[in-house]
Amino acid sequence: MVVYDKLVRDKIPGKIKALGNDYSIRYCPEEEISLTLKNKLMEEVKLLISSSSCEEIEDRFADIMEVIYTLAEKSGLCADDLQKKRLSMKEEHGGFREGIILEYY
């Protein structure tokens, strides 16, 4: 038995059950879900940093996006809202493609 005690995707318990393995789950209280999602986001970012293969990187980005979309939804936003804001900020401030490092201001 391995103790995880971490947020997992909704279908993971069903997949574990289908394999015939024992498991235990609990549901995060609503008042803790935002903090739990933020912790999951940090976990996934750390995994992204240590990823090396294209498939691992793609998986990490997908997990990060799912966590962000869920956190946004819990904050009353939707994916379209986030995309509009991202594009608006990119239009006004630019993106990060050029790799500009501001050394002083």
Are residues 77 and 36 in contact, defined by beta-carbon separation less than 8 angstroms? no
Cα 54 to Cα 45, 46, 59, 95, distances in angstroms:
15, 16, 9, 22
What does the pLDDT read at residue 45? 98
User: Tens of pLDDT along the chain (105 residues)?
Assistant: 889 999 999 999 999 999 999 999 999 999 999 999 999 999 999 999 999 999 999 999 999 999 999 999 999 999 999 999 999 999 999 999 999 999 999
Rg for the chain, CA atoms, rounded: 18
Tokens of 68: 């962000």
Model-level pTM? 0.87
Per domain, the residue ranges of the chain are 12-77
Cα 105 to Cα 59, 96, 101, distances in angstroms:
37, 18, 11
| Residue that has been written with the tokens 């900020």 in this structure | 89
